[in-house]
Every structure is written in structure tokens, then in C-alpha cells.
């Protein structure tokens, strides 16, 4: 089905070119400054300060190459409230907020089915089988647990992406690919017209769905057959450098870090046997996840011959291990520090490979992140802050009690999945109570709980004043997918379900909205820019640099410092 639609899109592009008198033989769509490859790098969970924190130990060819040769935006913040993976990746791809692109969270409650819905889940496009299942991986990802099928597609993304616009602009000649360890890191940036691959914790392979292919390309099957993940059987994650050189070298054993089913809180972290259920998950919660992603991306570049002609191609690479490590050890940990330093080497390897195959002088590079990361509440409490943990069950209990106390209304909560509280509309209607009145009563009760900063009804009128925080919530809310009340914890408070997660991102506070933005490549002058910018500005900037129209729902603005003198 997808291939048929793609053929139609390509054909329509040629029709437009013929009508404009622009087509005679082969069309060559040239980018400004001879760009042959657009490389979009996203580091999942790379909070904006981490490059400064560890930058004195970077080599010259990884992060340092971009920091020294690119336009570095040091004050970049997301404008939406729910800073989660799918939300940030889709904002980077589309140049707009969740209120327009529809990805309001990794998971939302589907009122029609009465069940949680995973963001890119699509039963119509099941996963392509790779080499057959190994032992099922240990599922630690709360978002993935909500998925009812392994089908994946971008169908739920409600806006076009930069990569879509590049594909249409080129009459279908641009090659569009995206690679990540997470499906929700790969799918948004590939858009509706590209191809996406992601790592499977079940097999250790990179996989895709029938939305993209009917069968794997031969080069993918060859890569999977090598079993690179399994080659780490019996190995461990060890420190890259001498422990004495690390900022957090003396903070390796903290009781509030998570011992992930035997993975341990201290180095070395043993992966165990390749036959164990946890093995391939442990690889992701280590620098190995980024190495596997990089190796697959390089193989893709070579086999798909990206950047080999005058039509600019597009490759998105989303590295996921920093985020996975943060969730269990925190961003101020020895594990995080080592992961960022090892990612620097991975990035250097990727850039050197692209320089050899395409030429960095022909490569437009943008690096950013999908969100930042909070510190662990216990870590902040040790340093003097009054913070703690609130779990989903308590939010539901407070809301239900408030409705009973005020209205005698039982079972008012249909579901709470942070950040949205979904109310039982049928029960409210049958009780003949104004829904807005119930929302206000419940919201007020929630805000009495220590650690909850705001509970804001997202529909209709609210007694919440217009503030930067309420604007972030509005930017995050899509009427068909959002809940009734948006719940925000106080800074550094944990608000999520019980489980092995030590720390969560997802808040509207500055530590979660803060990410790096760096653009480098032909015609871009090295500079540092401190004015406030937004990740939604990335897609319109790429469109201006390459010469396409901006994505359909984009609200971001081109970064003028990058465009000066072009």
C-alpha cells in the first residue's frame, strides 16, 4: 500500500514539473551550496549543558568538530510541556508543536477503544520478521508496554516533515532514511515518505515494518546475519578512561540508582549471556546501543549510496543510549558521563565515514536532542531541595475522592497516564453535572497535594491565568488525544508509575526543555548564539537551506544566523 502511494506521489511531482515546463529528461534538484546529504543527528536525552560539562575531554573529530565549526545555539528550549521522545522527535521533524502534529505523548488514552495507545502503533503494518525470534527481551519501556501490536507507521503524525518536503521537492529522487535504537526515534524523522529502521531488543537486529518494505533489502539481511549484538556475549560495559579523570568517578554506587535485574549499580556492568532475556536490553543501556546504531547507519550509507549525486539525500540518526542510561542512573552519574564520552568517539567515526563517502563539504549537519532530563529526586534532596516521588495511583485516588466528596460521583477517573488525567464523561453526564465544574474541583484538589505545581483543564475555560507554563500545556494539547486535566509536578519531583525507573523526563521545566542545537556544513559560519530559539526552528531552517517549502504545519522560524550571507 505504501509503495503504491509513493509511486503516485512521485508521478504527481513529475506532472507538476512538466506543467511548469521544467522537465526535460532527468530532473536534477540542486541544493544551495552543493549539499548532497542532509544528516540530522538526534541524541535522545542529551540535556543542553552536558556538552559543556564534558567538553574538555572530547576529541577533535566528534562533538568538538561541530562545536568548533558550526553555528551553536546555547539557549534552545522546547515550547511544549510533555518533553518525551516521540514529542521531541516529531517537533524536530515537523517544525511545530504537538497541538498540530498530534504526538502529545509516548502514550495516550484512546477513548474509543478504552485502552492506552502507543504513539506510532499501527496494526495494519506489522513488523517484518528478521532472523526469527531470540528469547523475548525484557520489556522495561513503559511506553512500549502500552503497545498492543508490533505494527508501526507514521500514520498518526498529522503534519508533513522536512524529509517529506525534500522528497516531494525532488520529484521523488531524494533518498530518505532514518535509523534509531527506538522505533519512536526513527519513524518521525523518516516522515511519511522515507524508510525507517530500529533496533529490536528481542533479536538484536535492526527491523522495520510493512509500511516501508515487503521484504528486507539484501544488505539489511546481511547486516542482521552478522549478529553484532550477540558478539558481546559475556562482555561488560567498562569505563573508557581511568576513573580518576571522571567528574563523577567517586559517585559510582548510590543507593537510589537502579540495579536493573542484576545489571548492577557499579562498573563494570555485565551483559551476561546472549541467550538471556535481559541481554539485548542491557546493550541498549550502555554505549553498545549507540555503536550498533552507528554501524547500521554506515552500512546504510554505503549500500543505498547516499549523497552520491546532485540531488540531496536525507539521513536521520537518533542515538538512544544516553537516554536509556539516564533513566536508571541519572544524568549526573558516572554512567552518563562515560556514555557521552563514548558517544563522542561514535560520532567521530560516523563523521569520518561520511567525509570519506560523501565529503563533509557536501554535508549539511544538524545535531539536537528530543528532550533534556531531570536529576533524580534523591540526588537533589541530598543537595538541599525538598522533593519526592508521586505515583500515578495517588493522582487517581485524589481525583476520585474529590469527586465523591463534592458531588457523590464515583469512578470519575477513567485513566491517568502522565501527564493527562482522563475523566469518565459517561459517568459525569449520567450524574447531570457540568463537566467543567468537575474538572475545576478535581484540579483544585490535585493542587493541594505537595509536589503538584499545576493541574490545568485543557478544554474550555479555566481559572488558570495565562502564563508561560499554561502556554506550554496548550501547545501540547490536541483535542482528540489529550486528556481532560494536565498535571504538572513541581521542579525535580518524580511523577510517573511505579517500576524500575529511577528518573523521568517529561516535565515543562527548563532542565527538560533544554537541548543543544548545532548546524554545520557548507556556507555556515562558526558562531555561538545565546538568544532564545526553539527546536521547532530546525525544520524551517533546513527547508530554507536546501530550498524546499517548509513543512505543512510548521510554526518555527528559520534561524537567521545560519542564513546570513547565503
DSSP string, 402-469: HHHHHH-----EEEEETTEEEE-HHHHHHTT--HHHHHHHHHHHHTTSTTEEEEEE-SS--SSPP-HH
Torsion of CA 387, 393, 394, 397, to 10 degrees: 170
Q: In this structure, are residues 120 and 187 in contact, taking their beta carbons and an 8 Å threshold?
A: yes
- Residue 139 pLDDT grade (very low, low, confident, very high; cuts 50, 70, 90): low
pLDDT at 565: 66
Q: What is the pTM for the complete model shown?
A: 0.93
d(CA 22, CA 540): 25
pLDDT greater than 70 at residue 499:
yes
Quick one: which of 229, 306, 237, 311 has its CA closest to 267? 237
**Whose grid coordinates read 563539504?**
361
| Mean pLDDT across 488-512 | 96
pLDDT greater than 80 at residue 566:
no
High-pLDDT (> 90) share of the chain, %: 87
Quick one: which of 89, 58, 70 has its CA closest to 539? 89
Q: In this structure, are residues 341 and 62 in contact, taking their beta carbons and an 8 Å threshold?
A: no
pLDDT at 32: 53
Quick one: which of 195, 196, 190, 187 has its CA closest to 163? 190
Q: pLDDT tens across 159-192, in order? A: 999 999 999 999 999 999 999 999 999 999 999 9
**Whose grid coordinates read 540542486?**
30
Q: pLDDT tens across 48-72, in order? A: 999 999 999 999 999 999 999 999 9
Report which of residues 23 and 368 the model is more confident about: 368
d(CA 524, CA 210): 38
Report which of residues 327 and 465 the model is more confident about: 327
Quick one: which of 185, 188, 99 has its CA closest to 143? 185
Residue 357 three-state SS: helix
Q: Is 543 exposed, middle or buried (0-12, 13-18, 19+ CB in 10 A)?
A: buried
pLDDT at 564: 86
d(CA 557, CA 533): 9
The radius of gyration computed from the CA coordinates of the chain, to the nearest angstrom, equals: 23
Q: What is the mean pLDDT of the chain?
A: 92
pLDDT at 494: 98
pLDDT at 376: 97
**Whose grid coordinates read 550502555?**
286
Quick one: which of 201, 186, 110, 108 has its CA closest to 154? 186
**Whose grid coordinates read 534561524?**
559
Q: pLDDT tens across 211-242, in order? A: 999 999 999 999 999 999 999 999 999 999 99
Count how many residues are written for the chain: 566
- Domain residue ranges in the chain: 32-379+513-519+530-563, 389-490
- Residue 463 pLDDT grade (very low, low, confident, very high; cuts 50, 70, 90): low
**CA angle, 305 then 311 then 312, to 5°:** 75
**Whose grid coordinates read 537533589?**
380
Q: Does residue 548 have a cis peptide bond before it, meaning omega lies within 30 degrees of 0?
A: no
Pick from 27-41, 105-119, 164-178, 448-462: least confident: 27-41
Q: pLDDT tens across 438-461, in order? A: 999 999 999 999 999 999 999 865
pLDDT at 199: 98
- Residue 6 pLDDT grade (very low, low, confident, very high; cuts 50, 70, 90): very low
| Mean pLDDT across 414-418 | 96
| Mean pLDDT across 187-210 | 98
Quick one: which of 288, 287, 297 has its CA closest to 351? 297
Query: Which CATH fold topology does 32-379+513-519+530-563 show?
Result: Alkaline Phosphatase, subunit A (3.40.720)
pLDDT greater than 60 at residue 15:
no
Judge if 32-379+513-519+530-563 and 389-490 fold alike in CATH terms: no
Q: pLDDT tens across 243-277, in order? A: 999 999 999 999 999 999 999 999 999 999 999 99
pLDDT at 462: 61
Architecture of domain 389-490: 2-Layer Sandwich (3.30)
Within 8 A by CB and 6+ apart from 199, the residues are 180, 181, 182, 205, 206, 207, 284, 289, 292, 293, 320
Q: pLDDT tens across 521-545, in order? A: 999 999 999 999 999 999 999 999 9
Amino acid at each position: 500500500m505504501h509503495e503504491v502511494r509513493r509511486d503516485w506521489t512521485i508521478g504527481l511531482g513529475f506532472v507538476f514539473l512538466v506543467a511548469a515546463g521544467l522537465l526535460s529528461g532527468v530532473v536534477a534538484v540542486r541544493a544551495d551550496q552543493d549539499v548532497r546529504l542532509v544528516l540530522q543527528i538526534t541524541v535522545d536525552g542529551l540535556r543542553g549543558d552536558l556538552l559543556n560539562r564534558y567538553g574538555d575531554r572530547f576529541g577533535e573529530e566528534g562533538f568538538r568538530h561541530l562545536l568548533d565549526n558550526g553555528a551553536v545555539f546555547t539557549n534552545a528550549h522546547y515550547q511544549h510541556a510533555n518533553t518525551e521522545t516521540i514529542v521531541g522527535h516529531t517537533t524536530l521533524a515537523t517544525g511545530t508543536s504537538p497541538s498540530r502534529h498530534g504526538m502529545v505523548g509516548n502514550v495516550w488514552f484512546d477513548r474509543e477503544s478504552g485502552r492506552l495507545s502507543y504513539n506510532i502503533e499501527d496494526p495494519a503494518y506489522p513488523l517484518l520478521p528478521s532472523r526469527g525470534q531470540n528469547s523475548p527481551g525484557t520489556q522495561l519501556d513503559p511506553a512500549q508496554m502500552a503497545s498492543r501490536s508490533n505494527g508501526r507507521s507514521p500514520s498518526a503524525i498529522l503534519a508533513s516533515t522536512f524529509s517529506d518536503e525534500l522528497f516531494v521537492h525532488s520529484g521523488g529522487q531524494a533518498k530518505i532514511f532514518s535509523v534509531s535504537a527506538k522505533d519512536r526515534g526513527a519513524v518521525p524523522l523518516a516522515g511519511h515518505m522515507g524508510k525507517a529502521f530500529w533496533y529490536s531488543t528481542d533479536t538484536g537486529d535492526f527491523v522495520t515494518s510493512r509500511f516501508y518494505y515487503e521484504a528486507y533489502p539484501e544488505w539489511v539481511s546481511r547486516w542482521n546475519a552478522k549478529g553484532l549484538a550477540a558478539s558481546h556475549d559475556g562482555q561488560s560495559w567498562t569505563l573508557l578512561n581511568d576513573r580518576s579523570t571522571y567528574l563523577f568517578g567517586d559517585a559510582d554506587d548510590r543507593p537510589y540508582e537502579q540495579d536493573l535485574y542484576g545489571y548492577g549499580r557499579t562498573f563494570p556492568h555485565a551483559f551476561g549471556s546472549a541467550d538471556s532475556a535481559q541481554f539485548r536490553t542491557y546493550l541498549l543501556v550502555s554505549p553498545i546501543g549507540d555503536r550498533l546504531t552507528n554501524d547500521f547507519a554506515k552500512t546504510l550509507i554505503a549500500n543505498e549510496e547516499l549523497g552520491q549525486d546532485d540531488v540531496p539525500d536525507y539521513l536521520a540518526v537518533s542515538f538512544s543510549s544516553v537516554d536509556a542510561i539516564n533513566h536508571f542512573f541519572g544524568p549526573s552519574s558516572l554512567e552518563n558521563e562515560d556514555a557521552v564520552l563514548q558517544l563522542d568517539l561514535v560520532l567521530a567515526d560516523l563523521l569520518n565515514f561520511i567525509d570519506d563517502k560523501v565529503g563533509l563539504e557536501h554535508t549539511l549537519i544538524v545535531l539536537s536532542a528530543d528532550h533534556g532530563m531531570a536529576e533524580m529526586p534523591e540526588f537533589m534532596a541530598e543537595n538541599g531541595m525538598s522533593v519526592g516521588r508521586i505515583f500515578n495511583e495517588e493522582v487517581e485516588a485524589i481525583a476520585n475522592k474529590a469527586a465523591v466528596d463534592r458531588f457523590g460521583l464515583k469512578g470519575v477517573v477513567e485513566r491517568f497516564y502522565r501527564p493527562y488525567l482522563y475523566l469518565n464523561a459517561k459517568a459525569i453526564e449520567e450524574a447531570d453535572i457540568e463537566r467543567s465544574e468537575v474538572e475545576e474541583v478535581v484540579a483544585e484538589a490535585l493542587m493541594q497535594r505537595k509536589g503538584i505545581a499545576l493541574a490545568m483543564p485543557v478544554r474550555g475555560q479555566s481559572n488558570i491565568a495565562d502564563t508561560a507554563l499554561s502556554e506550554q500545556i496548550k501547545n501540547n494539547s490536541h483535542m482528540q488525544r489529550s486528556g481532560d486535566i494536565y498535571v504538572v509536578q513541581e521542579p525535580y519531583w518524580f511523577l510517573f508509575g511505579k517500576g524500575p525507573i529511577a528518573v523521568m523526563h517529561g516535565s515543562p521545566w527548563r532542565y527538560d526543555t533544554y537541548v543543544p542545537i548545532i548546524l554545520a556544513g557548507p556556507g555556515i559560519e562558526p558562531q555561538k548564539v545565546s538568544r532564545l530559539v526553539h527546536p521547532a526552528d530546525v525544520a524551517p531552517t533546513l527547508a530554507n537551506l536546501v530550498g524546499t517549502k517548509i513543512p505543512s504545519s510548521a510554526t518555527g522560524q528559520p534561524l537567521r544566523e545560519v542564513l546570513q550571507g547565503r
